[in-house]
Structure 1
Amino acid sequence: MFMIAIVAHNEEPYLANAISQARAAADPQTRIVVVDSASTDGTAERARALGCEVISAPLGKGAAMAAAARGADAEWLCFLDADIVEDGVNIPLTLRRAVEAAGPGTAMVVADFDDPPPPPILSATIALYGPLVRALFPEADGRFGGRPLSGFRAVRPELVGDDAPRDFGIEAYLNLSAALSGRPTALTHIGLFKQRFRYKADMGTEISRAVLDLAESHGRLDPALRDEWDAWVAHVMKVIQGYRGDLGERDAYLERLRAAADRPLPPRSR
Structure 2
Amino acid sequence: HLVRYCIGRFGTNKRCIILDPFCGTGTTPVEAAKHGYPCYGIEANPVAAFASKVKTLNGYDSTVLRSHLGYIEKSMRLSFDNLGLSELKEDLCDLETTLTPVCIKHISSLPDEQRKVIPRGFICPRPLSKVLVVKAILRTIEDKVIRDFFTLALASLVVRVAGNIGFGPEIYRKKPKGDISAISNFVSIAAAMIDDIENNPIAKQATIVKGDSRSIDQCLSRRLLGRIRCVVTSPPYPNEKDYTRSTRLESVLLDFICDKHDLRSIKSGLLRSNSRIY
Per the normalisation by structure 2, the TM-score is: 0.23
Which one has more relative contact order, counting CA pairs under 8 Å at least 6 apart? 2
Greater per-residue strand proportion: 1
Per the normalisation by structure 1, the TM-score is: 0.24
